[in-house]
Structure formats: C-alpha cells, structure tokens
C-alpha cells in the first residue's frame, strides 16, 4: 500500500491548544491584578467542569477518553468562557455555562472538529439570555472600588454569594464603560461628558484596558507562532475601527471613538482568541476576512443599537452560521485554473 508521506512536521492539536492557553496567561495576570484573584477560582472551576463533562460525554459516546481530553480543547473553551464571565460570577453560573458549552455546543454536535458554533460563545450567550442581571453585574476594578475584597472574600462571594458584614454589594460592583455609555446616552447625555466618569481610562475602561492590552500581547504571540492567521484579527479590528470611526466622525457627541471600541469589552479577546477558533470559523483566506469583518460590524451594531452592552458573543454566533456559505463562495483560485 502506498502510505506516503512518511514524514510529518506539525504541532499536534494539543500543542496548538497549549499555545493558546499560554497566550492567555498575560491577560489572566492583568486580570488578577485589576480584579483580584477571584478569576483564578472561576478558571479552575470552569476547567474542572469542562474536563469532567467532556470525559463523561466521551464515555457516553463510546469514544476514547485520553486522546480527546489531552487535546486540551475543552480547557481552551473553559478558559475563554471564564474570562468572558463577570469576575465574581457565582460558582453555579460558571458550571452551568461550561456544561452548556461542552455538552450541548460541543459534544452533542460530535465533539472536537464538528461543532458549528463556538462553544464558549454558546455557553456565554445561553447565560446572558438566562441570567441577564448577573451577567452584566461586573465588580469594580480594585483601584476604583470603595471597599477592596480580599481573595478569601471573593472566594466566599463566588461560592455563597455573601459579602463581609460591613460591605454592601454596590460598593464592589459598577457598570462596565460600555454599559454605562449606553445607559447615559439613552439619558440624552453626550459622549464627552460621559467619558469623564471615573470608570473610563485612557482608551477604554479604567483597569480593563490593561487586561485588553495583555490579550493583544498574547494575540501577537499566537501570530508569531503561526497558530492563528493575520486575516482574522486584522479584519475584525479593522471593521470595528472602521464602523466606529464612521459613526464617530459623523456625530462625535453620540458615538464613542474607535479606540474606545477597540480597547473596551471583549474586543481583543474576540480578535485573537474567539474568532480564531478554527473549527467554527471559515478556512479560506478571503473567507476569514469576510467572517471577521462581519463579526466586527455586528459587534459594533449590537453595542450601539442592540439590547446588550457588548455584542461579541452574538456577533460571533451569527457569523458562525454563515461559515459554510462563506467557505463555499470564497474558494481560492486553484493553480492552473486561469480565468480569461
């Protein structure tokens, strides 16, 4: 039998996923620094839930457990979901979201390689629709909070939803800048005045923009390692910037500047870690550009006109639906197929 080639030189799926996890580390560090160690609990909880549920489902589906668990794809999903959740999300929210992502969005569709939708975003969207209040209640960055919660306090809050005796919930939470901007604009305030609020930093959210910058750093590492292609982040950030620039230029009083949009919410996480999920994304170079630009445009529209402060999850899911169509219509020209 002809079984050539005999040699290969490719990073395994595990290595690729490991590098994605590595690229998230700077973001996690920044996160801990800004919001406290509670995120580590959330991450661990999500990882554990993901691995256990993946193993259980693999067993139910009579698939080998070890190779599929060691590919680390479940861990990547867990981390991305955990990082997208509010930092002090209650434990059950993390568990429910991860279960939804792994069981429904991934394994029930056939496991690794077969899920048409980004599992982390499916989990996130399910939680956002089911528990909108909890999902939009973010803790204030430590440097802004009137009362700083220690790690043990955060742990207690995550698992029992109780705060130290003298602390009120309003003292530790605040709206995110995207949320705040949206509500204030509805109250007929103007952007310039709104962004004078203490929650705004140089470009995006005070503190939050640091986390965003750390994601960007991790993303550049993935680009350098050729784990992701330049098409996706470039087109996504380009489209988001172009949309916000157009609106901002027309009416700076009611639309935030492009830099704010790039550095707020889940923009960078989305650009380098979420839309770069190969399984639920397109494969052709041109398709990647269209897909990512679509996510960028939809993200902006949902942020500005939609019912939710950030639009990344829905934008990604909507564009996931278009992937087969995009792939079919962006086939590159095959060598020797010369058009006249």
Partner 1 sequence: MNSIIQFASKLIRGQAAGTDAVHKFHGGVHPDGQKQQSTSAPIRKLAIPEKLILPLRQHVGYIPKIKVQVGERVLKGQMLAEAEGTLSAAIHAPTSGTVTAIGEEIIPHPSGLPDMCITLAPDGLDEWTALHPVDWRNTDKKTLVANLRSSGIVGLGGATFPTHIKVRADGRTGIHTLVINAAECEPYITCDDMLMRERADEIVKGMEIVKFLLGAENCIVGIEDNKPEATSAMTEACKALPGTSVKVVPTLYPSGDARRLIHLVLGMEIPHDKRSTDVGVQVFNVATVLAIYRYFAYGEPAVDRIVTITGSVNSPQNFEVLFGTPLQALIDAADGTKPGTTHFIMGGPMMGFDLPTIDVPITKAANCIIAATPDLFAPPPPAMPCIRCARCADACPVNLQPQELYWFSKSDNFEKARDYNLFDCIECGCCTYVCPSNIPLVQYYRYAKSEIIAADKAKEAADLARERNEFRLARIEREKMERAQKHAERAAAGKAESAKTADAVKSDGVKAEATKTEEAQAAPAKPATETPVAATNADDAKKAAIAAAIERAKALKAASQSGESQKKPATADTADNSTPAQAAPSQATEQAEAGQTKVDQASAEQAKKDKQALIAAAIERAKAQKLAAAQAGIAPKNVENTSPFVKAEISEIDAIREKARQAVKAQDSDPEA
- Residues forming beta bridges with residue 200, ordered by sequence position: 205
200 by DSSP, 3-state: which? strand
Closest CB 67 distance from partner 1, rounded Å: 7
- Residues forming beta bridges with residue 174, ordered by sequence position: 138
Rule CB under 8 A: say whether 116 interacts with partner 1. no
Closest CB 151 distance from partner 1, rounded Å: 36
Closer residue to partner 1 in complex, CB, 102/194: 102
Closest CB 337 distance from partner 1, rounded Å: 5
Closer residue to partner 1 in complex, CB, 6/305: 6
Residues 55-74 that bind partner 1 (CB under 8 A): 67, 71, 73
Q: How far apart are CA 117 and CA 316, in angstroms?
A: 8
Residue linked to tokens 């005070």: 206
H-only helix segments in 164-230: 169-172, 177-186, 191-194, 208-224
**Could you tell me how many residues of this chain bind partner 1 (CB under 8 A)?**
37
Closer residue to partner 1 in complex, CB, 3/192: 3
Residues 284-303 that bind partner 1 (CB under 8 A): 284
Residues 93-112 that bind partner 1 (CB under 8 A): 111-112
Rule CB under 8 A: say whether 10 interacts with partner 1. yes
Rule CB under 8 A: say whether 339 interacts with partner 1. no
Rule CB under 8 A: say whether 36 interacts with partner 1. no
Nearest to 80 by CA among 113, 114, 48, 118: 118
Whole-number CA gyration radius for the chain: 21
Q: Which stretch binds partner 1 (CB under 8 A): 85-93, 119-127, 208-216, 326-334?
A: 326-334
Rule CB under 8 A: say whether 310 interacts with partner 1. no
DSSP string of 268-334, one letter each residue: HHIIIIITT-STTS--SHHHHHHHHHHHHHHHHHHHHHSSSS--HHHHHHHHHHHHHHHHHH-PPPP
| Residue 51, burial from CB neighbour count under 10 angstroms (0-12, 13-18, 19+) | middle
What residues line the site for partner 1 (CB under 8 A)? 1-13, 15-16, 67, 71, 73, 111-114, 229, 278-279, 281, 283-284, 327, 331-338
């Amino acid at each position: 039998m002809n079984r050539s080639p005999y040699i290969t030189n490719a990073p395994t799926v595990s290595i690729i996923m490991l590098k994605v996890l590595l690229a998230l580390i700077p973001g996690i560090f920044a996160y801990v620094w800004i919001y406290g160690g509670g995120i580590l609990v959330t991450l661990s909880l999500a990882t554990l839930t993901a691995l256990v549920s993946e193993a259980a489902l693999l067993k139910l589906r009579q698939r080998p457990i070890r190779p599929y668990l060691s590919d680390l794809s479940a861990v990547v999903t867990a981390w991305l979901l955990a990082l997208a959740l509010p930092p002090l999300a209650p434990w059950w929210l993390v568990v429910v979201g991860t279960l939804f992502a792994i069981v429904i969005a991934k394994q029930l569709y056939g496991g690794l390689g077969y899920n048409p939708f980004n599992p982390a975003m499916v989990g996130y969207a399910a939680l956002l629709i089911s528990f909108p209040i909890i999902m939009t209640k973010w803790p204030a960055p430590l440097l802004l909070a009137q009362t700083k919660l220690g790690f043990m306090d955060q742990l207690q809050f995550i698992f029992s939803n109780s705060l130290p005796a003298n602390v009120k919930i309003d003292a530790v939470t605040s709206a995110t800048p995207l949320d705040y901007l949206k509500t204030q604009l509805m109250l007929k305030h103007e952007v310039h005045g709104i962004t004078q609020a203490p929650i705004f930093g140089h470009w995006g959210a005070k503190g939050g923009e640091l986390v965003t910058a750390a994601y960007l750093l991790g993303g550049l590492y993935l680009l350098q390692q050729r784990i992701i292609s330049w098409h996706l982040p470039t087109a996504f950030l380009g489209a988001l910037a172009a949309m916000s620039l157009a609106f901002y230029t027309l009416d700076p009083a009611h639309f935030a500047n492009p830099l704010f949009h790039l550095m707020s919410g889940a923009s960078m996480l989305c650009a380098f870690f979420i839309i770069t999920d190969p399984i639920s994304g397109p494969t052709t170079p041109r398709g990647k550009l269209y897909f990512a630009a679509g996510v960028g445009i939809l993200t902006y529209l949902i942020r500005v006109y939609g019912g939710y402060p950030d639009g990344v999850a829905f934008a990604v899911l909507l564009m996931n639906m278009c992937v087969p169509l995009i792939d079919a219509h962006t086939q590159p020209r095959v060598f020797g197929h010369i058009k006249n």
